[in-house]
């Protein structure tokens, strides 16, 4: 049983997009200036909200049970619940499906406007959203890399949602180790056309009945491929052949052999696919074919992967949000026990009990902090594409690139913790599937695993992201935080700035320690990488939250205590305080552990793990 | 789909019971000295292990699907999977079911010997174990409080497992607030016999087909009862009447009206029960009836509750253990990616990758630390009953009473974190139900919720447990830790003692802060209570682990590096190091937060939670 009541609030989403981020700067870019004004976002958010509330979330009820059913058969092996069909069509017809991925379109929306829409969609149904998000990712690879005729043949129907899309990367023996793929592509007499043979697994939306055709992107190697990732190509392999005139042809020998029984996300078909079991599967190479056994597939795949990594953070964010709003609703209604300070008094709604408040505030703080991290990253990404000055584009590209692993790993790790606190708010009812938090906790667990397990992002953050371009982007990213703490001090937030100052000094020690280890104790970077990523995330989230709090304090002073919106700004200030004073202090534990640099996990022989 | 392969290891269980705890002292008590020698535990553990591996865990496969099915009907509303019947009978016939609860029996086993048996049983099947554990709890209340004739009538068949038992406390409007129960008991002309009317929910094992009869203990109030918990009575209400001669009579108007759809533990029937819908339900008062509307039910119920609270920690421990052993097994077998230090080398079993090692070591450290905490508590409890000197009994009762909330809340909170790390070790496979960690993570979530939500234990720990008997027991408990750190320093563990010294000093600051708040800032105790409980747990677990490590170092020195068991002692030393140097440092974050004493969660108006 999956949650079916959409209780999201849009106020903080609008605050982040309209009031906090420098949207005037972004909308002055050529790509947007003739198309959008700041208030236009309201319409998109309001329509999205209504679709999420009235269509997407009610259909999510069926996501767990019946969920997706594997029925077998060559051409239609997976059946989605009936309610999914209408939902899928409604979203695609409203232009809120894969259309966003069309980054070449005149009048396209900024990615940072898409972020709150995607967050709400995932909050409404973590499972159903997968049917258009993977399509969107696949179009990115095609749009950026494929020959013009392939783009014309495939993209329009993918953008409209008539056809779905996937990324077929994982194989039973090749997950984190992408270079180990064994799926083969054999050249044919037709240039660009290859014969495909191989098995893939864990393919999200790998088969389903929501679209007429599914366009798979398949990572495969030619017989003469270089070992490892160098030999990988990326090919377009439709489930049904697409003729030169764009019409749909015969079945292309792509068979779904089963779907996974998962802990959550039952409404998303996680498929095993067999390509070419009848020796009759063909695909088009994306870009030029391999040269000397070297393909471009890895680089192309990463264009989709990077997008999906950021989106994965946003998927997790939706679960955090929906679980929090469900817990909040419950705690306002559920009456139990008098206040401890008034033991003979009446029973009160449990939101009045301190520990319940703490748990709600924790969830709210995690939600808003992660949202600030995510949206700022989408915003940096927009400017990295759309700013007119190349140096500025490079600068923002650096910031976005650095934050993506934090968005993916920190937000997904926090989803497990935060949805648990939502469960806890409900007491025994939290364990019952009729209430929202249980299914959201189950659903969200995938996000720390796919698109690279979270440790791979810790490795990325402490490795490439810290050292790329001689470490310049990382220095700029850290300088942003340092400047803020040094120059924005405000008496209203004296405790918070003091905490951030000490926490930031600690983070600099952490960074220095990592840099010291890079020379000769690199195994310590591996052992502490996950904790370093978390520390970095808490530092930047603390800074972003405090930045939002300063803005809220300013707005509150302008509007006055009696303004109808005053509570929102008070809430923002309190939430920032809570995050900085209660979540950020974990970095002080991290540095203590790092200073000892314990290696006991590596020191013991493998046989000692009993 | 629930896990079905029992991969537990018994080496650390035996170390804790046979080598670490002062079993010579316990077995010299009158209750045991003519019955047991230390090596006798081996037989019990080995038999238990085999039953868990060969009977209990294979049957657990059916715990999720089909699980318990509600079919309705007065006398038999819940059907368990077929495989449960044989399992239940095997366990009961082997004397490993509710028999343990017979604390009046000559030759009974120490509770601390029962702990590893219960841990393995829960590790084998978190769901099935509930069918005898609740019976055991119910017998405790009857044995300690009921009239002799009632004991004779009910206990033998409950101890044998022929009849099941429950505790019917929770009602839709009365969970944490027990005093709010509305179920009524009306006196009849027969002394001690009452007519029962009311609804209960969330009753574990409330109906099932494993036993011929179910003996419910029902909390209820007479019409003239005092408000709140003072008015509560506890009555024996069998599903089928039990005649004076012990034979089973007619249906006693107890109807199961449904079972819950839960996130996990689908094999345990969490039942809603209606008593006296046909006005024909009767029960026996336990002990004397109420006087002036004051009943003894609350105190009686707590005898069971305290037992179940400690057992709940052990249930959670079983999930931590089984998830760890499943992850360990996977990581030894799963080959992926070369080592980062040898990027051109062959792919290796993932246990050789640092972050995987860290995650396994984290789980192992949590498992062994929680085990030390739990077993020491059972051991203290044994001595509190069995020591010949009343002062000694009182001393150990204090230690046990203080540690019970830590056992319940810390272990169950850690279960959510540790099973998550097991999932993470498996990568994408962790999300798949065919592998053990997913169902164990789902199952374990109940333990932070039932038998009092974890915050209630934080309240208990920072409240009554800190102040009872003028705080003497708490001082003694803290002195145990302090003496160890001050007097057991060992050069082999210099880093660890240094860390514990600093952490303990920090914990003393935490305690002083709580004591300071008790006078005038009691709401801060509520706001930080959960964190204080966690800090206390980490401190005592750190001390216990280091104590074990000292013993392991001594044994290793005696046996030498070549001894077949050397790896176990090395492993214990490394695991203690890991816990102290990587887990304990979290207390340094806690003190920083407490020093600021942020109250933002309470400061904002309720309306500001949006």
User: A149-163, A169-183, B49-63, B437-451: which range is least confident on average?
Assistant: A169-183
Is A362 within 8 Å of A418 (Cβ atoms)? yes
Tens of pLDDT along B445-485?
999 999 999 999 999 999 999 999 999 999 999 999 999 99
Q: Does A346 have pLDDT greater than 80?
A: yes
Give the model's pLDDT for residue B406: 98
Tens of pLDDT along B361-412?
999 999 999 999 999 999 999 999 999 999 999 999 999 999 999 999 999 9
C-alpha span between B213 and B221 (Å, rounded): 24
- Contact yes or no for B581 and A602 at CB 8 A: no
Tell which of A312, A323, A346, A355 to mutate to test the B interface (max B CBs under 10 Å).
A355
**Which residues from A are below 8 Å from B608, CB to CB?**
567-568, 570-571, 574
Max CA-CA distance within chain A? 87
Q: Extract the tokens encoding A603.
A: 């020191």
DSSP string, B101-165: G-TTSTTPPPHHHHHHHHHHHHHH-TTTTHHHHHHHHHHHHHHHHS-HHHHHHHHHHHHTTSEEE
**Which residues from B are below 8 Å from A355, CB to CB?**
455, 458-459, 526-527, 529-530
Residue of chain A minimizing CA distance to B434: A261
- Is the bond leading into A41 cis (omega within 30 degrees of zero)? no
C-alpha span between B179 and A548 (Å, rounded): 44
Q: How far is CA B484 from the centre of its chain?
A: 27
CB count within 10 Å of CB B378 equals: 25
Per-residue pLDDT band for A369 (boundaries 50, 70, 90) equals: very high
C-alpha span between A550 and B66 (Å, rounded): 55
- Contact yes or no for B585 and A582 at CB 8 A: no
Tens of pLDDT along A163-203?
999 999 999 888 778 889 999 999 999 999 999 999 999 99
Contacts of B394 (CB under 8 A, 6+ apart): B384
DSSP class of residue A608? G
- Contact yes or no for A431 and B605 at CB 8 A: no
Beta strands in B292-436 (DSSP E): none
Per-residue pLDDT band for B173 (boundaries 50, 70, 90) equals: confident
**Which residues from B are below 8 Å from A170, CB to CB?**
428
**Which residues from A are below 8 Å from B424, CB to CB?**
448-449, 453-455
Alpha helices in A107-223 (DSSP H): 111-124, 130-145, 148-159
Residue of chain B minimizing CA distance to A321: B610
Residue of chain A minimizing CA distance to B577: A600
Distance from CA of B99 to the nearest CA of A (A): 29
Question: Nearest CB to A571: which of B261, B430, B608?
Answer: B608
- Contact yes or no for B340 and A526 at CB 8 A: yes
Distance from CA of A107 to the nearest CA of B (A): 33
- Cβ pairs bridging A and B (under 8 Å): 281
Tens of pLDDT along A294-304?
999 999 998 88
Tens of pLDDT along A523-545?
999 999 999 999 999 999 999 99
DSSP class of residue A53? I
Q: Sign of torsion, CA B340 B346 B350 B352?
A: negative
Per-residue pLDDT band for A499 (boundaries 50, 70, 90) equals: very high
Residue of chain A minimizing CA distance to B417: A417
Find the length of chain B.
610
Q: Does B144 have pLDDT greater than 80?
A: yes
Give the model's pLDDT for residue B306: 85
**Which residue numbers of A are catalytic?**
451
Question: Nearest CB to B529: which of A177, A355, A455?
Answer: A355
DSSP class of residue A432? B
3-state secondary structure of A220: strand
Residue of chain A minimizing CA distance to B260: A432
Mean pLDDT of A357-384: 98
C-alpha span between A577 and B597 (Å, rounded): 11
**Which residue numbers of B are catalytic?**
451
C-alpha span between B238 and B249 (Å, rounded): 10
**Which residues from A are below 8 Å from B526, CB to CB?**
340, 353-355
C-alpha span between A396 and A407 (Å, rounded): 16
Tell which of A600, A603, A610 to mutate to test the B interface (max B CBs under 10 Å).
A600
Is A490 within 8 Å of A497 (Cβ atoms)? yes
Is A477 within 8 Å of A543 (Cβ atoms)? no
CB count within 10 Å of CB A251 equals: 15
Give the model's pLDDT for residue A173: 82
Is B578 within 8 Å of B361 (Cβ atoms)? yes
Q: Extract the tokens encoding B416.
A: 């959510």
Tens of pLDDT along B537-586?
999 999 999 999 999 999 999 999 999 999 999 999 999 999 999 999 99
DSSP string, A240-295: EEE-TTS-EEEE-SEEEEEE--BSS-TTS-EEEEEE-TTS--EEEESSS--BTTB-
Is B237 within 8 Å of B165 (Cβ atoms)? no
Q: Which residue, among B128, B125, B135, B126, has the nearest Cα to B160 in the 3D structure? A: B135
**Which residues from A are below 8 Å from B600, CB to CB?**
361, 574-575, 577-578, 581
Mean pLDDT of chain A: 96
Tens of pLDDT along A270-329?
999 999 999 999 999 999 999 999 999 999 998 888 889 999 999 999 999 999 999 999
C-alpha span between A290 and A187 (Å, rounded): 10
Tens of pLDDT along B244-284?
999 999 999 999 999 999 999 999 999 999 999 999 999 99
**Which residues from B are below 8 Å from A602, CB to CB?**
354, 357
Q: Extract the tokens encoding B519.
A: 């006078």
C-alpha span between A196 and A194 (Å, rounded): 6
3-state secondary structure of A191: coil
Distance from CA of A260 to the nearest CA of B (A): 7
- Contact yes or no for B354 and A526 at CB 8 A: yes
Give the model's pLDDT for residue B174: 81
Per-residue pLDDT band for B429 (boundaries 50, 70, 90) equals: very high
Alpha helices in A445-521 (DSSP H): 454-462, 464-467, 472-487, 494-520
B392 φ, ψ to 5°? -65, -40
* Residue indicated by tokens 């990758």: B353
Beta strands in B296-361 (DSSP E): none
Contacts of A532 (CB under 8 A, 6+ apart): A458, A461, A462, A510, A514, A525, A590
Provide the ipTM: 0.97
Q: B211-232 burial by CB neighbour count: b if 16+ within 10 A, else e?
A: bebbbbbbbbbbeebbebbbbb
Contacts of B47 (CB under 8 A, 6+ apart): B94, B96
Question: Nearest CB to B600: which of A9, A361, A428?
Answer: A361
Q: Does A69 have pLDDT greater than 90?
A: yes
């Amino acid at each position: 049983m999956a949650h079916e009541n959409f209780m999201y609030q849009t106020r903080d989403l609008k605050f982040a997009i309209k009031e906090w981020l420098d949207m005037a700067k972004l909308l002055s870019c050529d790509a947007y200036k003739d198309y959008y004004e700041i208030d236009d976002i309201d319409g998109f958010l309001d329509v999205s909200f209504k679709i999420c509330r009235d269509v997407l979330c009610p259909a999510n009820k069926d996501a767990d049970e019946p969920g997706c059913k594997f029925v077998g058969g060559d051409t239609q092996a997976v059946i989605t619940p009936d309610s999914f069909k209408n939902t899928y069509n409604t979203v695609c017809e409203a232009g809120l499906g894969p259309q966003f991925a069309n980054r070449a379109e005149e009048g396209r929306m900024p990615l940072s406007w898409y972020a709150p829409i995607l967050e709400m969609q995932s909050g409404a149904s973590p499972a159903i959203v997968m049917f258009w998000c993977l399509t969107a990712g696949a179009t990115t690879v095609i749009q950026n890399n494929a020959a013009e005729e392939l783009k014309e043949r495939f993209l329009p129907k993918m953008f409209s949602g008539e056809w779905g899309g996937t990324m077929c990367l994982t194989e039973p023996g090749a997950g984190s180790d992408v270079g180990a793929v064994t799926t083969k592509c054999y050249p044919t007499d037709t240039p660009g056309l290859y014969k495909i043979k191989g098995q893939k697994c864990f393919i999200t939306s790998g088969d389903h009945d929501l679209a007429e055709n599914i366009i798979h992107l398949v990572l495969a190697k030619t017989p003469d491929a270089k070992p490892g990732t160098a030999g990988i190509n990326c090919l377009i392999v439709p489930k049904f052949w697409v003729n030169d005139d764009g019409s749909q042809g015969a079945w292309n020998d792509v068979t779904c052999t089963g779907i996974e029984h998962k802990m959550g996300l039952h409404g998303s078909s996680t498929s095993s696919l067999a390509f070419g079991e009848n020796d009759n599967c063909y695909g088009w190479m994306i870009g030029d074919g391999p040269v000397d056994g070297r393909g471009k597939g890895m680089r192309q795949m990463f264009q989709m992967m990077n997008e999906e990594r950021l989106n994965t953070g946003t998927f997790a964010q939706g679960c955090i949000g929906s679980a929090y709003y469900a817990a909040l609703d419950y705690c306002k209604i559920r009456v139990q026990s008098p206040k401890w300070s008034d033991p003979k008094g009446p029973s009160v709604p449990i939101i009045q009990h301190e520990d319940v408040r703490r748990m709600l505030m924790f969830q709210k703080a995690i939600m808003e902090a992660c949202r600030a991290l995510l949206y700022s990253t989408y915003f940096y990404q927009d400017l990295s594409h759309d700013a007119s000055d190349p140096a500025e584009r490079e600068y923002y590209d650096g910031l976005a690139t650095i934050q993506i692993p934090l968005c993916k790993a920190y937000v997904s790790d926090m989803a497990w913790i935060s949805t648990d606190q939502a469960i806890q708010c409900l007491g025994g009812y939290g364990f019952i599937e009729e209430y929202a938090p249980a299914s959201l906790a189950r659903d969200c667990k995938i996000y720390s695993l796919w698109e690279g397990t979270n440790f791979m992002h810790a490795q990325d953050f402490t490795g490439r992201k810290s050292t790329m371009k001689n470490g310049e982007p990382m220095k700029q990213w850290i300088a942003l935080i340092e400047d803020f703490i040094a120059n924005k001090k405000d008496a209203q937030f004296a405790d918070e700035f003091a905490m951030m100052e000490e926490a930031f000094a600690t983070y600099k020690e952490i960074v220095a320690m990592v840099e010291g280890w890079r020379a000769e104790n690199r195994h310590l970077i591996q052992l502490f990488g996950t904790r370093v990523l978390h520390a970095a995330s808490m530092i930047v989230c603390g800074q972003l939250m405090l930045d939002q709090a300063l803005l809220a304090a300013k707005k509150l002073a302008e509007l006055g205590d009696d303004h109808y919106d005053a509570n929102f700004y008070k809430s923002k200030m309190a939430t920032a305080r809570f995050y900085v004073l209660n979540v950020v202090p974990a970095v002080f534990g991290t540095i203590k552990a790092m200073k000892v640099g314990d290696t006991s996990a590596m020191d013991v022989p493998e046989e000692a793990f009993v």
